[in-house]
Amino acid sequence: MLRPQGYATIVGVGAVQEHDTVTCGHCNQVVMTKPGTAFTTYLIPQLQGPPKEEMGAMCRVCMRAVCLQCHAEGRCTPLERRIEEMEARGRMLKAVGL
């Protein structure tokens, strides 16, 4: 990856895997990326064999890399916005007395 957001080292039985990572801008999930591809190719771990390569995804509203599940959802809901909504709901419930 040209500018990775993170780096993961996975230690398994008899093998160590190292990957560049990117964090989803909507749900905060960490996604492994193929080296040298920026965030355009994601590596999806498989139970057996090498990881499956999938086309990466980017939200064109908030301009952040997103995981494939959030991309399939089709709407921009960044984690910060969801946290703000939860806090506002908590303040409202406290003001009402619940």
pLDDT in tens, 50-69: 888 889 899 999 888 899 99
Residue found under tokens 């999806």: 44
Q: Where are the alpha helices (DSSP H) in 26-76?
A: 68-73
For residue 51, the 8-state DSSP code is: P
Residue 43 has pLDDT above 60, yes or no: yes
CB–CB of 21/31 below 8 Å? Answer: yes
**pTM exceeds cut of 0.75:** no
Q: What residue segments make up the domains of the chain, in order of their start?
A: 6-96
Closest to 3 in 3D by CA, of 28, 30, 25, 22: 22
For residue 19, give the amino acid letter. H
